[in-house]
Structure 1
Amino acid sequence: MAWIYLVIGGVLEIGWAIGISFSDGFTDLTPSIITILLLLISFYFFAKSMKMIPIGTAYAVFTGIGAGGTSIIGMVFLGEEISLIKIGFISLLIFGVLGLKFSSNEEEKNEPQNLEAK
């Protein structure tokens, strides 16, 4: 379940990152409110995921989903420049995120971390 929370948080990060550009520096009220709501919900799911996933892995996956997804959305829907080198590096990012997911210990995913006991 923690990985589902992390993916939800990462996808919502794409939404608030794009929302920042549509908010016109937080001067356009509706996109600003939507962006702030997406940001809060995104961090809520991110924080929930970190109860069971190590912080380094969770943060790398969270930001990787956000950065890669935002770049893809920008190129496909917002008219940003598309280049082979960008696609190559986004692919590396995606493979890195998948590598972190598949190299995580099952125990880390299923047992909450107890920071007080350490």
Structure 2
Amino acid sequence: MNWFFLILAGLSEIVWAYGLKMTHGFTDIKWSIITICFMFVSFLLFAKSMRTIPIGTAYAVFTGIGAAGTAIVGIVGLGEELGVMKVISLSILIGGIIGLKMIDKKTAKTEDAAK
């Protein structure tokens, strides 16, 4: 369940990062409220996820989902440039997130077996 919270936290980070762009310096009240709400939700879910997920893994996954997702939103939704190096970099980032998840799952199984 905590991994689910962590993924939702990362997805919420994408929403508030996009919302931050749309606030135009917090001059658009609707987007400002949406952004602040998603910031709160994002950090609440992130905090809940760290009950059982190690902080290093949780933070890397949280920020990785946010960074990769926001970059993809920028490319797809805001017309930002897509180049070979950006694709390679995003692939490495996403691979790292998946790797951390797999390593944490193995660590949890080992710890459970030791109990």
TM-score (normalised: structure 2):
0.92
Unmatched tracts of structure 1, length 5 or more = 111-118
Distance 2:90 2:101 in 1: 17
Count of matched residue positions in the alignment of Structure 1 and Structure 2:
110
Q: Which residue of 2 is the match for residue 76 of structure 1?
A: 76
Three-state SS of the structure 2 residue aligned to 1:40 is helix
Query: Match for residue 47 of structure 2?
Result: 47
Report the CA distance between 1:108 and its aligned residue.
Answer: 8.9
Matched, 1:66 2:57: no
**1:33 and 1:67 mapped to 2: Cα distance?**
22
Give the fraction of aligned pairs with identical amino acids, expressed as a percent: 52
What is the TM-score when the length of structure 1 is the normalising length?
0.89
Higher fraction of helix: 2
Deviation, structure 1 residue 83: 0.5
Paired with 2:12 and 2:110, the residues of 1 have a C-alpha distance of 24
Change (3 A) 1:93 1:24: same
Please report the RMSD computed on the Cα atoms of aligned residues, expressed in angstroms.
Answer: 1.6
**Equivalent pair of 1:2/1:48 in contact (CA under 8 Å):** yes
Structure 2 match to 1:106: 108
In structure 2, relative to structure 1, the CA distance for the partners of 1:91 and 1:109 (3 Å cut) is: farther
Unaligned runs of 5+ in 2: none
Checking the alignment, whether the CA contact within 8 Å between 1:53 and 1:108 is kept in structure 2 is no
